[in-house]
Structure 1
Amino acid sequence: MSAEQEHITPLATAAVDHPTSDEKDPSITTPTPPSSRRRRRRRCLICCGSCTALVVVIAIVLVIITVTVYKVKEPVMTMNSVSIKNLNLSLGSSLNINMTVVADVSVKNPNAAFFRFGESTTALYYRAREVGVAYGPPGTAGARKTFRINVTIDVMADRLLSDPSVIGDLAAGKLDVTTSTKVGGRAKIFLIIKRHVDVMMNCSMTMAVSNQSILAQSCNQRVWL
């Protein structure tokens, strides 16, 4: 072997970097352990179940309150007074009569929710013949409050005098008449639940012709919920 060959030093092998056990290759995704997925699924189920249970409880509470505290009760209609105004009889070539009937009606709302009433209708009958009708304005009766209705009925003389019995009743000094008052309303509970109510009151009364007073009166009411 020559001297030149003895002094040749072999090239060092290029060092190759290999990741140590403490370093992770970013291209490799570590799979999520099954136990972690089960925990997340369990938490989702618990959250959904809690929300559903809360909604059910709220719905049950609302139903209980609606059928107990806010149960719709029948309004009570009362005829406070009826009076005759401007009664005028004239005997000329024929009998003429002018008469106005004033009715004071109240509707009591016994409910914990307010009632909104529409226009009321009050009709006056003589021997089953309608001789006058009047309309009252709409209004609102608050919770456990009373709504007043005042109506003035102008009697239609031609209809009244068309009945032959009226002359004998006037001569006897009294008239038997009937009033019928009807009003419809709607109750709102929690501003969502609506309940329609119709109230009708019929009153039979005997009117004195001489002093324009009410001699006898009897009333009854009907309610449609």
Structure 2
Amino acid sequence: MMENKPGAVGRAYTSPQVNPYGRVDEEVVTVAERELRRKKRLKCFMYVAAFVVFQTGIILIFALTVMKVRTPKFRVRSASFDTETFNITTSNTNPSFHIKMFAELGIKNPNFGRYKYQDSSIEFYYMNIKVGEASIPRARAKARSTRKFNVTVEFSSVNVPRTLAAEFAGSTVISLRSQSRLRGKVELMKIMKKNKSTNMSCTMEINTSSRQLRNLSCR
């Protein structure tokens, strides 16, 4: 005869409850985490792409502005004359001139590095006959600035044929043309040097009555 153990009466066997929605909740969380990671990766990629585009733009602007080497401009800016040596003969028999001019020249350097040029000269012509010349010593023009300096030139019609000298006989205007060529280097950031030459080509007129320079044009 079997005996009932104490406490066994009324005890029922209960199995653990299973949540039928647990797996669904885990899948929802996993999908959300994956979507969050995907958005983070996409945002990171966008930041990297924006940074690359920005850097490329900066490099492009730098290359087109700072690192681009432009040709300096060489010009006759103005001039005055020595009145004591301003000798003009406009007679038809023996026209001649002997004039001393003090010219201000300018070298405009548009680059972000200095322009160092070599010794050169400037020549002046009347009717394609050279009537004057001056030396230009080597020097340098600072970055983004204009170097100004003066030269003294003596014009003489000694080598001008009488047939050509007759052009200014009885006139108050002597037309001249100046030309020069500077050879030098543009130095950028002390790491890059590039050879750069610049040419001068100017036309001008000397008014013999007012003893002034007029109609000065350079290109």
Could you state the TM-score of these two structures normalised by the residue count of structure 2?
A: 0.62
Determine the C-alpha separation between the residues in 1 that align with 2:67 and 2:208: 47
Per the TM alignment, residue 118 of structure 1 is displaced from its structure 2 partner at its CA by 1.5
Secondary structure at 1:172's aligned position in 2?
Answer: coil
Q: 1:104 to 1:91 in 2, by over 3 A?
A: closer
Which amino acid in the other structure matches residue 72 of structure 1? Answer: V
Q: Please tell me whether the aligned partners of residues 182 and 199 of structure 1 are also in contact (alpha carbons under 8 angstroms).
A: yes
Determine the C-alpha separation between the residues in 1 that align with 2:206 and 2:190: 45
Per the TM alignment, residue 80 of structure 1 is displaced from its structure 2 partner at its CA by 1.3
Secondary structure at 1:71's aligned position in 2?
Answer: coil
CA-atom RMSD in angstroms: 2.8
1:210 maps to what in 2?
Answer: 209
Which amino acid in the other structure matches residue 213 of structure 1? Answer: Q
Determine the C-alpha separation between the residues in 2 that align with 1:199 and 1:188: 15
Q: Please tell me whether the aligned partners of residues 178 and 204 of structure 1 are also in contact (alpha carbons under 8 angstroms).
A: yes
Q: 1:163 to 1:183 in 2, by over 3 A?
A: farther
The one of 73, 76, 92 equivalent to 2:73 is 76
Determine the C-alpha separation between the residues in 1 that align with 2:189 and 2:60: 11
Secondary structure at 1:100's aligned position in 2?
Answer: strand
Q: 1:138 to 1:173 in 2, by over 3 A?
A: same
Whether 1:165 and 2:164 are equivalent positions in the alignment is: yes
Q: 1:63 to 1:192 in 2, by over 3 A?
A: farther
Per the TM alignment, residue 190 of structure 1 is displaced from its structure 2 partner at its CA by 3.5
1:130 maps to what in 2?
Answer: 130
Which amino acid in the other structure matches residue 164 of structure 1? Answer: T
Count of aligned pairs? 159
Question: Identity rate of aligned residues, in percent?
Answer: 23
Q: 1:213 to 1:62 in 2, by over 3 A?
A: same
Could you state the TM-score of these two structures normalised by the residue count of structure 1?
A: 0.61
Q: How does 1:1-225 map to 2 (within 5 A)?
A: 65=62, 68-85=65-82, 86-89=85-88, 97-160=97-160, 162-220=161-219
Q: Extract unaligned runs of 5+ from structure 1.
A: 1-60, 221-225
Q: 1:119 to 1:173 in 2, by over 3 A?
A: same
Q: Please tell me whether the aligned partners of residues 139 and 147 of structure 1 are also in contact (alpha carbons under 8 angstroms).
A: no
Q: Extract unaligned runs of 5+ from structure 2.
A: 1-57
